[in-house]
């Protein structure tokens, strides 16, 4: 980065931090994007004059509300919920809902900001948004989760709609939660319409949506290897998390002939030196999707596997890392360890799983580094396809959706190559994704004038 660019980045960031005090995750996400975009913005006075970056880092609106619900003992409980409608320049707001005790406005603003670029990259007409609550579904009964979801939708329904804002799932919001939320919307509005994605297959959900983020993340990784004449077949993979994204990343990686050595949850990680096979994956799906159990139960069942309590998998030597749990789960030191151990690729299934210094380390080491907004865009892309099917009142079969997902991931990869290739043929996917995602949204904003 030139000295002038660096000065401009710091100047912009000082203003942003002042306007958004204490929102460290939001600052981190904006800084990463600004570092890539500043040279483009300095070269294009029309973006500067229209204050595009200043406007793109300010959400269109934020809705904050209380969600009161009753637990199984009859106690009243209250949580805070938000919907951040970040940018609808190229389509209605679109982005997931997260239920986790760590949820804050800063987290949702970073996610909504990232989502704007990610949705643009898919090529589909979707703006960026994100929402959620500090409600913790873990340890709650189905009835408690149901009452929480009903109460949340009782407020949220005023702010969403198939042409306005279409939420989906994220951490802590899976098929069960989406079903409760959709049921309440339908009851309140007397309308059956695609206001949420990730719905059950019998009520408007898309085939392949459940698998889309994980599959897409592996397809993106395969595209990165293919670009340099290789494949992920036979490669050793580290996967973190054991939720929706992790499980379907494991499934696709196995299908493509890779060897998966790890998965994790918030209690620690599993290292299986023999590799996870189809039978073990079936056990893991049942453990996590049906029984809502903990990671150590895998090691209780498969005796060669080791459970490492309270640790993350990044010290295990491997060829590819798929971080699929949560933000900032790869520290600078862990990124350096991965590089030292010979990692060839990192494909981010989770949103912003690598700290900024870690991402710099990956780019400087010239490994294949697929940032979240490109690598995990398959989920929202198939959500976009679910919206199209709902609008058409049709449903496409699994093959058709998967073919479209593959095409979309190929096209995202091509956009990253177009905007991120350096003179020596190295592809800086971070730069490529940020620039490609930005241009479409920025040009729409320019066209609207002072909106």
Q: Which residues bind ligand NDP (CB under 6 A)?
A: 169-172, 174, 213, 241-246, 265-267, 324-326, 349-351, 376, 379
Q: Which H or E run includes 339?
A: helix 332-340
| Nearer to ligand NDP (CB atom), residue 39 or residue 293 | 293
Q: Is 130 a catalytic residue?
A: yes
Give me the catalytic one of 94, 130, 288, 415: 130
- What is the spatial distance between Cα 317 and Cα 342, in angstroms, rounded to a whole number? 7
The answer to whether 291 touches 268, Cβ cutoff 8 Å, is: no
Nearest approach, Cβ of residue 136 and ligand NDP (Å)? 9
| Nearer to ligand NDP (CB atom), residue 128 or residue 172 | 172
3-state secondary structure of 53: helix
| Nearer to ligand NDP (CB atom), residue 33 or residue 246 | 246
The answer to whether 36 touches 12, Cβ cutoff 8 Å, is: no
Residue nearest to ligand NDP as judged by C-beta position: 243
Nearest approach, Cβ of residue 8 and ligand NDP (Å)? 30
| Nearer to ligand NDP (CB atom), residue 40 or residue 281 | 281
Nearest approach, Cβ of residue 170 and ligand NDP (Å)? 5
Most distant CA pair in the chain, distance: 65
Nearest to 265 by CA among 242, 245, 244, 286: 242
Nearest to 121 by CA among 355, 337, 439: 439
| Nearer to ligand NDP (CB atom), residue 52 or residue 250 | 250
Nearest approach, Cβ of residue 335 and ligand NDP (Å)? 17
> What end-to-end distance do the CA atoms of the chain give, in Å?
32
- What is the spatial distance between Cα 220 and Cα 412, in angstroms, rounded to a whole number? 8
List CB contacts of 157: < 8 A, sequence separation 6 or more. 184, 185, 188, 189
Nearest to 122 by CA among 340, 433, 388: 433
Nearest approach, Cβ of residue 218 and ligand NDP (Å)? 13
Catalytic annotation, residues: 130
């Amino acid at each position: 980065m030139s000295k002038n660019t660096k000065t401009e980045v710091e100047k912009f960031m000082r203003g942003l931090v002042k306007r958004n005090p204490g929102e460290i995750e939001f600052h981190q996400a904006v800084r990463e994007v600004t570092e890539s975009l500043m040279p483009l913005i300095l070269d294009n006075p029309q973006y500067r004059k229209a204050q595009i970056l200043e406007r793109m880092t300010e959400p269109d609106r934020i809705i904050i509300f209380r969600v009161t619900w009753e637990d199984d003992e009859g106690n009243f409980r209250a949580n805070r919920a938000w919907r951040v409608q970040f940018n609808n320049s190229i389509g209605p707001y679109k982005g997931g809902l997260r239920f986790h005790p760590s949820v804050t406005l800063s987290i949702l603003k970073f996610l909504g900001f990232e989502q704007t670029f990610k949705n643009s990259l898919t090529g589909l007409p979707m703006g960026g948004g994100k929402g959620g609550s500090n409600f913790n579904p873990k340890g709650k009964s189905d009835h408690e989760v149901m009452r929480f979801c009903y109460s949340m939708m009782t407020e949220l329904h005023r702010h969403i709609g198939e042409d306005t804002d279409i939420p989906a799932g994220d951490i802590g919001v899976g098929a069960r939660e989406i079903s409760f939320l959709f049921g309440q919307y339908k009851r309140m509005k007397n309308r059956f319409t695609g206001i949420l994605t990730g719905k059950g297959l019998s009520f408007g959900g898309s085939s392949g949506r459940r698998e889309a983020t994980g599959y897409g993340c592996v397809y993106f990784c395969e595209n990165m290897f293919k670009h340099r004449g290789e494949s992920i077949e036979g490669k050793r993979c580290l996967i973190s998390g054991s939720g929706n994204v992790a499980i379907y990343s494991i499934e696709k990686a196995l299908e493509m002939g890779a060897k998966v050595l790890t998965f994790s949850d918030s209690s620690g990680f599993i290292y299986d030196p023999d590799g996870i096979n189809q039978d073990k994956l079936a056990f893991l799906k049942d453990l996590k999707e049906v029984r809502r159990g903990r990671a150590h139960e895998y090691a209780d069942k498969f005796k060669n596997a080791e459970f490492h309590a309270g640790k993350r998998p990044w010290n295990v030597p491997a060829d590819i890392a798929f971080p699929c749990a949560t933000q900032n789960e790869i520290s600078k030191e862990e990124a350096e360890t991965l590089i030292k151990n010979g990692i060839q690729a990192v494909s981010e299934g989770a949103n912003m799983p690598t700290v900024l210094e870690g991402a710099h380390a990956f780019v400087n080491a010239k490994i294949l580094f697929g940032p979240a907004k490109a690598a995990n865009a398959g989920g929202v892309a198939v959500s976009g396809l679910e919206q199209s099917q709902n609008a058409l009142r049709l449903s496409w079969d699994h093959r058709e959706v998967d073919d479209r997902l593959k095409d979309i991931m190929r096209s995202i990869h091509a956009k990253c190559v177009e905007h991120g290739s350096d003179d020596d043929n190295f592809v800086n996917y971070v730069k490529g994704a940020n620039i490609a995602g930005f241009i479409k949204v920025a040009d729409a904003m320019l066209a609207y004038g002072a909106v």
